[in-house]
Amino acid sequence: MGKKTKEKNYSIGDHIFAILVVLIMCVFLISSPFLIFFGVFKLVALVPDVSINTKGTFDSVIVLFKFFVLTVVVVGIVDVVFSQILLKKRGFLNFVIEALLMFCVFYLYVLIYSMNSQEIVIRNNGVFLVSLFLFILYLLINVAYLVSRWLYKATMKNIQKKNN
């Protein structure tokens, strides 16, 4: 005799709950990087060399969101280019070289952006501070990637041990 399989009947409420949980997770995953960016940029804007010229909080959210999206696009393109150039050789030295190149790109990007923006005004030492802020976020993303990759590998090893 074979095993009896039990089919569970899920209600509409179960489906709605599952969809809501997935939507909340997606909103959190999409909004949390921007909220971190927004909060830290507002802290950087407390320095006299960096100011956000907007009328209210909602306007500053829109201005910083535009800056965030443009920054993500620029960093994504430049990071892919640098990774392809340095792909043949991996190691700590190449990571340091890539990091220094990225800091130079951040500095150049912030300098060009500050010359063309009337909403985010960055003067003198502010260019360095905003570049440093973006660079630290870039390094944190790399650390988060390495930690998540390590956790994934450890989880896969545990699953393979249980199945063997």
Per-residue model confidence (pLDDT) at position 5: 56
Give the pLDDT of residue 81.
83
DSSP output for 38-93: HHHHHHHTTSTTEEE--SSHHHHHHHHHHHHHHHHHHHHHHHHHHHHHTTT--SHH
- Could you tell me how far CA 98 lies from the centroid of its own chain? 18
Report the pLDDT value the prediction gives residue 23, as an integer from 0 to 100: 92
Q: Specify the pTM.
A: 0.74
> pLDDT digits over 58-70, tens only?
888 888 888 998 9
| Residue bearing tokens 């802290």 | 43
Q: Report residue 152 as tokens.
A: 């994934």
pLDDT tens digits, one per residue of 27-74: 888 888 888 888 888 888 888 888 888 888 788 888 888 899 898 899
Give the model confidence (pLDDT) of 133-159 as tens digits.
999 988 888 888 888 889 889 888 888
pLDDT at 103: 92
The model's pLDDT over 109-137, given as tens digits with 9 standing for 90+, comes to 999 988 888 888 888 888 899 999 999 98
Which of residues 69 and 163 earns the better pLDDT score? Answer: 69
Structural element, H or E, at residue 147: helix 125-163
- In this prediction, residues 16-25 reach a mean pLDDT of 91
Per-residue CA distances from 8 to 14, 18, 138 (Å): 11, 15, 46
Predicted confidence band at 3 (pLDDT cuts at 50, 70, 90)? low
Helix 125-163 and helix 57-85: axis angle, to 10°?
Answer: 70
